Amino acid sequence: MDRERMVNEKSKDEQLEKVREDPEREFLTTNQGVRVNNTDISLKAGERGPTLLEDFHFREKLTHFDHERIPERVVHARGSGAYGFFQVYEPMTEFTSAKFLQDPNKKTPVFVRFSTVVGFRGSADTVRDVRGFATKFYTEDGNYDLVGNNMPVFFIQDAIKFPDLVHSIKPEQDNQIPQASAAHDTFWDFVSCHPENAHMIMWVLSDRALPRSYRMMEGFGVNTFRFVNAEGKGRFIKFHWKPLLGIHSLVWDETQKIAGKDPDFNRRDLWEAIEMGDYPEFEFGVQILEEEDEFKFDFDILDPTKIWPEEDVPIKWIGKMTLNRNPDNFFAETEQVAFCPANVVPGIDFSNDPLLQGRLFSYLDTQLIRLGGPNFQEIPINRPLAPVANNQREGYNRMTINKGKTSYFPNTVGDNKPRPASAEENGYVHYMEKVEGKVIRSRSEKFKDFYSQAKLFWNSMSKPEKEHIIEAFHFEIGKVKDKKIRQAVVDMFNNVDGDLAMEIARGVGVSAPGQKGGSPVTKESPNLSQERSERNVKNSIKTRKIAFLVAEGYNHKELSQVMQALEAGGAKADIISKYQGMLKSSGGEEIEVGKNYHTTESVLYDAVYVPGGKKSIETLKMHGDAIHFVNEAFRHCKPVGATGEGVELLKIANLPDIQLAGQESSDKTISAISDKGVVTAINEGDINSFNESFIDAIAKHRHWDREKKKQVPA
């Protein structure tokens, strides 16, 4: 079969099917296939006697168990995977010969692993951190890995500094504190000793580090790569992923609470969305730069601490990825998958970005130990769909039975096979870049502008986003014990923006910079902001989770009308009450309670709604958990809705400076109103306009104009 026909949307699945094992076998066996007759009691010399060594089943069971752990990834240890496919919009022949980027009818299978970076495998999902976004394309040319992050720049410029960076950000070496957090002395010591971090720190302290969902964050290749077309012409490129559900984040207080209430929040969200058929989708984009434009910018295009501003190099959206299948076995697939930026296919090549150059070495190297030797490419999740013939033999856990006599090239015994392919035969030919230079440990002058793009990022933020960054500094630097380090951070960020440095200093008990500094950059790039980005989707409530607070005697008609409207928009409603089980409405209808107050919490939802029903609201008013629910959702700037008597609960919750339905305005009583994301209606006749306003409020995701109301104690 030729290579092109071999790859379609289903081909990876079919390849994996050959190694899948169904749980439905009737009999338990040993590793040798011998049926086991007892797996509960070990073989002993007498009922109360010692266990016998000849109990091969016991020995085998325990031995395997003793060896079940493998080393976790040194970074990106905690991850979540999903399968899907990728489709290009139109042939990219002009720019690249990569086969998977030619035919819009072709669906190339992919496996994606999202991850946090710093925490150990069992740490919480919602920590402040960069997120990994690694994609393996199983193309007909072989595997192509795009190993990216959800932020477009990196902390350091040269791979040789990576061990220092990671040592500083991981828990401190004497006591392994803190877990999954940068908020400690060694990391900020590292930062203040390396001003090249400035730009990345702005991203890490922004809302980008707190994604609402893996389905709602952007992805970036970070490093500069190359597209090479069939004529051998090369162009520099940067890769982008854009989530079709928009780019949304949690708020800091919420993330910390979720870390306790549901440490698997992002993992669960991805899994459940795929199980429910809400397949995450991401558009694939490239910024393409002609080689002759390499030196046109005031930054070096090889510097991974710099973006290429979209205003200068626009993004071309060239395809879409859909994730539509959950793995069968976390360990076999998500844990054993091995990504490597050096896994490229003809048509995609590297640049001299010094961070990328180091990455090209590091991934294979770390995987040799993590996956126990040189044959990990044979693990099913890592196997390409393209045939492999490489003359490599032996080593731990070799699976393939290579027939024939030869494992060398050239040979006469084996008909000179397998032989290298020419460029016409799609052999990988490295881009013939002209390289000349002295052997030197140095970096180009333009790499040394550390602050301009940090300032560009700062300028591009909306006001609430700026406030979040300042608060993040107050948390992170506030946790640093050594005042000298705190001061050094303030002084460093005085080079970015003087006002920002003053604000940081004010919160962390050190002196404001002697002289107000700052980068002179005044330019903005609105797409760097989640709030201002034109890419952000603010008109859909698809897959948002809405909490319905109810008790016995609720108004069924109101509840059903609101639920129908929300579900028609693709949102998910969850009924929450004191106890699980069935609840009766005032009219005798019944509804099943999905969660009780012990099993859930407002931080796990995107919005909250309280339907009317006199008796229901009388109960909820006496219930601290319900009031807290509303208060907390309000504090986190989430949409809050109530109809009929439900509005009474909002009054008890005492939401500051919000107009509610039922209140007197200058000349009449308001019957329906939407005020800063709090949507209320009293009369039955207002339910349609309530639904419209509530949906609009949910689509906006958060209502930051309320953020000043921090007097809400939740």
- What is the C-alpha to C-alpha distance for residues 382 and 637, in angstroms, rounded to an integer? 43
Quick one: which of 74, 183, 502, 537 contacts ligand HDE (CB under 6 A)? 74
Query: 222 vs 480, which CB is nearer to ligand HDE?
Result: 222
Quick one: which of 108, 157, 168, 367 contacts ligand HDE (CB under 6 A)? 367
Active-site position among 57, 76, 556, 636:
76
Query: 360 vs 652, which CB is nearer to ligand HDE?
Result: 360
Region 97-116 residues binding ligand HDE, contact defined as CB under 6 A: 113, 115
Quick one: which of 200, 222, 562, 698 contacts ligand HDE (CB under 6 A)? 222
Quick one: which of 57, 107, 242, 359 contacts ligand HDE (CB under 6 A)? 359
Binding mask 77-96 for ligand HDE (x = CB under 6 A): --x-----------------
Query: 80 vs 322, which CB is nearer to ligand HDE?
Result: 80
Asked if 153 touches ligand HDE (CB under 6 A), the answer is no
Question: Minimum CB separation from ligand HDE for residue 360, in Å?
Answer: 9
Region 157-196 residues binding ligand HDE, contact defined as CB under 6 A: 159, 162
What string of DSSP letters covers 472-524? Answer: HHHHHHHT---HHHHHHHHHHHTTTBHHHHHHHHHHHTSPPPSS--B------
Query: 132 vs 611, which CB is nearer to ligand HDE?
Result: 132
Taking CB under 6 A as the binding criterion, the range among 67-75, 516-524, 617-625, 669-677 that sits at the site for ligand HDE is 67-75
Q: How many residues bind ligand HDE (CB under 6 A)?
A: 26
* Torsional class of 126: left (φ above 0), alpha (ψ -120 to 50), beta (otherwise): alpha
The distance from CA 159 to its chain's CA centroid, rounded to whole angstroms, is 23
- What is the C-alpha to C-alpha distance for residues 421 and 41, in angstroms, rounded to an integer? 59
Query: 339 vs 690, which CB is nearer to ligand HDE?
Result: 339
Question: Minimum CB separation from ligand HDE for residue 371, in Å?
Answer: 9
Quick one: which of 366, 392, 560, 580 contacts ligand HDE (CB under 6 A)? 366
Quick one: which of 42, 229, 362, 580 contacts ligand HDE (CB under 6 A)? 362
**Cβ-based burial of 24 (10 A; exposed 0-12, middle 13-18, buried ≥19):** exposed
Question: Minimum CB separation from ligand HDE for residue 589, in Å?
Answer: 48
270 phi, psi to nearest 5 deg: -65, -45
* 348 beta partners: 227
- What is the C-alpha to C-alpha distance for residues 23 and 25, in angstroms, rounded to an integer? 6
- What is the C-alpha to C-alpha distance for residues 88 and 52, in angstroms, rounded to an integer? 62
Question: Minimum CB separation from ligand HDE for residue 41, in Å?
Answer: 41
Answer whether 149's CB lies under 8 Å from 131's CB.
Answer: yes
Whether the bond between 354 and the residue before it is cis, its omega within 30 degrees of 0, is no
Q: What is the dihedral of CA 266, 272, 273, 276, to 10 degrees?
A: 180
Query: 129 vs 648, which CB is nearer to ligand HDE?
Result: 129
Answer whether 547's CB lies under 8 Å from 571's CB.
Answer: no
Quick one: which of 7, 8, 16, 75 contacts ligand HDE (CB under 6 A)? 75
- What is the C-alpha to C-alpha distance for residues 26 and 102, in angstroms, rounded to an integer? 48
Quick one: which of 137, 154, 236, 284 contacts ligand HDE (CB under 6 A)? 154
Taking CB under 6 A as the binding criterion, the range among 45-53, 310-318, 354-362, 583-591 that sits at the site for ligand HDE is 354-362
Q: CB within 8 A of 42, min separation 6: which ones? A: 51, 52, 55, 58
- What is the C-alpha to C-alpha distance for residues 603 and 252, in angstroms, rounded to an integer? 11
Q: CB within 8 A of 594, min separation 6: which ones? A: 574, 575, 576, 580
Is 223 designated active site? no
Region 132-151 residues binding ligand HDE, contact defined as CB under 6 A: 132, 134, 147-149
Answer whether 644's CB lies under 8 Å from 652's CB.
Answer: no
Q: Side-chain half-sphere of 401: how many Cα atoms within 13 Å?
A: 0
Please name the residue that has the structure tokens 């709602």. Answer: 216
Query: 223 vs 600, which CB is nearer to ligand HDE?
Result: 223
What string of DSSP letters covers 574-619? Answer: EEEESSSEEEEBTTS-EEEE-EETTT--GGG-SEEEE---HHHHHH
Quick one: which of 12, 73, 199, 306 contacts ligand HDE (CB under 6 A)? 73
- What is the C-alpha to C-alpha distance for residues 155 and 673, in angstroms, rounded to an integer? 47
> In angstroms, what CA-CA distances link 337 with 240, 294, 310, 389, 400?
22, 35, 33, 21, 18
Question: Minimum CB separation from ligand HDE for residue 334, in Å?
Answer: 8
Whether the bond between 195 and the residue before it is cis, its omega within 30 degrees of 0, is no
Asked if 358 touches ligand HDE (CB under 6 A), the answer is yes
Active-site position among 8, 143, 149, 536:
149
- What is the C-alpha to C-alpha distance for residues 509 and 512, in angstroms, rounded to an integer? 9
Query: 138 vs 634, which CB is nearer to ligand HDE?
Result: 138
Answer whether 129's CB lies under 8 Å from 116's CB.
Answer: yes
Question: Minimum CB separation from ligand HDE for residue 446, in Å?
Answer: 19
Is 149 designated active site? yes
Question: Minimum CB separation from ligand HDE for residue 325, in Å?
Answer: 17
Answer whether 472's CB lies under 8 Å from 127's CB.
Answer: no
Query: 109 vs 553, which CB is nearer to ligand HDE?
Result: 109
Query: 149 vs 691, which CB is nearer to ligand HDE?
Result: 149
- What is the C-alpha to C-alpha distance for residues 234 and 247, in angstroms, rounded to an integer? 32
The token pair at 250 is: 């949690």
Question: Minimum CB separation from ligand HDE for residue 131, in Å?
Answer: 8
For β-strands 595-596 and 590-593, DSSP reports them as unpaired
Asked if 299 touches ligand HDE (CB under 6 A), the answer is no
Q: Side-chain half-sphere of 350: how many Cα atoms within 13 Å?
A: 19
Taking CB under 6 A as the binding criterion, the range among 73-81, 255-263, 418-426, 657-665 that sits at the site for ligand HDE is 73-81
Asked if 460 touches ligand HDE (CB under 6 A), the answer is no
Binding site for ligand HDE (CB under 6 A): 73-76, 79, 113, 115, 132, 134, 147-149, 154, 159, 162, 222-223, 338-339, 355, 358-359, 362-363, 366-367
Q: Which residues are catalytic?
A: 76, 149
